[in-house]
Amino acid sequence: MEIVAYGVLADEQPLLHDAFDRAFGGSHELRCLGLFLNRDTAPTAAGHEVVLSSVNDTLDADVLRALAKGGTRMIAQRATGYNNIDLAAAEELGLAVARVSFYSPYSVAEFAWALALAVDRRIVRAAHRTREFDFRLDGLMGRDLHGRTAGVVGTGKIGAAFARIAHGFGMRLLGWDITENPDCLALGMQYVERERLFAEADLVSLHVPLLPDTHHLVDAHALALMKDDAILVNSSRGGLVDTDALLETLRAGRLSGVGLDVYEEEAGVFFLDKSLEVMTDERLARLMTFSNVLVTSHQAYFTRDAVGQIAETTTGNVVDYFAGRPSGNTLVPRRETGTGR
């Protein structure tokens, strides 16, 4: 059987092939495609019982119907987030769905800190200058983070890893989550109401999933509460931040720095080369004009360790599907009447 994977990056492909070769020993072939799965590309999945999706694929009801019509019975999402998949439609169509519920939390936490330090110490601006042999320090002054307050929004595995690094910097820790993490409490973290966290933190880092309750968690009200010289970092999901409200805040000269590895309208832009095109997304283009804003293309997870774990878990999800057994990664279980082998 041939299994098809969409949105596969060049550096990801060998890790995915290695994981499949170890699991199946050649009994199933893996076809890796760089194109994203959507209404236009769904017909290319015809005849493939198992489809491996990426976080930037569009798996709405229409796409899922097209997949089911073409013979697809299982979707294995190569990511933790699954807000791009219509689970209700998948269940109705009899499509099994699984995700990667866990991979290296250090990849994202460390990258969030890279963003925070880069905007605090003006690293990108400094690097551009020195390439032109301009070694002035004007406009490059940052500030110590030691002794200041880190607000960690979401204290799961990634948030806790971020908090441990903040603790190493000697920062005071504030946290917000629906449950308190004992590991974070052991670091001295104080759990507070969301409004207090935004008001008191010098650095706010987002580590919650994108759900209806967290959509635009950082809205105009939250931004108004933040200190004028605060730093905001989002390495989780773009929809957590209201981009229009963020632009208004930046235009008012507020916030010392913003590091964004995700953007709420990133689909169709991130992971693609748009350098020879006119950027039609005016909000993204405006964000790029602020010297204190650093945007990267959803790469926080992109380490050999994390991508290797994602490949292994995705392969395990396919093995579980063929065996007819659910796991902690199952979002929609396989129907017993499915055609999986």
Q: Map the chain to HEC letters.
A: CEEEECCCCCCCHHHHHHHHHHHHCCCCEEEECCCCCCCCCHHHHCCCCEEEECCCCCECHHHHHHHHHCCCCEEEECCCCCCCECHHHHHHHCCEEECCCCCCHHHHHHHHHHHHHHHHCCHHHHHHHHHCCCCCCCCCCCCCCCCCEEEEECCCHHHHHHHHHHHHCCCEEEEECCCCCHHHHHCCCEECCHHHHHHHCCEEEECCCCCCCCCCCECHHHHHHCCCCCEEEECCCHHHECHHHHHHHHHCCCCCEEEECCCCCCCCCCCCCCCCCCCCCHHHHHHHHCCCEEECCCCCCCCHHHHHHHHHHHHHHHHHHHHCCCCCCEEECCCCCCCCC
* Residue 282 known to be catalytic: no
* The one catalytic residue among 48, 207, 298, 334: 298
Task: Please say whether the dihedral angle defined by the alpha carbons of residues 1, 88, 157 and 148, taken in this order, is positive or negative.
Answer: positive
- Pick the closest to residue 217 from 202, 206, 225, 228 (CA basis): 206
* Residue 325 known to be catalytic: no
Bridge partners (DSSP) of residue 98 are: 76, 330
What is the phi-psi region of residue 271: left when phi exceeds 0, alpha when psi lies from -120 to 50, beta otherwise? left
Q: What is the distance, to the nearest Å, from the Cα of residue 241 to the centroid of all Cα atoms in its chain? A: 13
CB 324 within 8 A of CB 317: no
* The one catalytic residue among 28, 237, 264, 334: 237
* Residue 48 known to be catalytic: no
* The one catalytic residue among 49, 200, 266, 312: 266
Six-digit token pair at 292?
């204190």
Residues serving a catalytic function are: 237, 266, 298
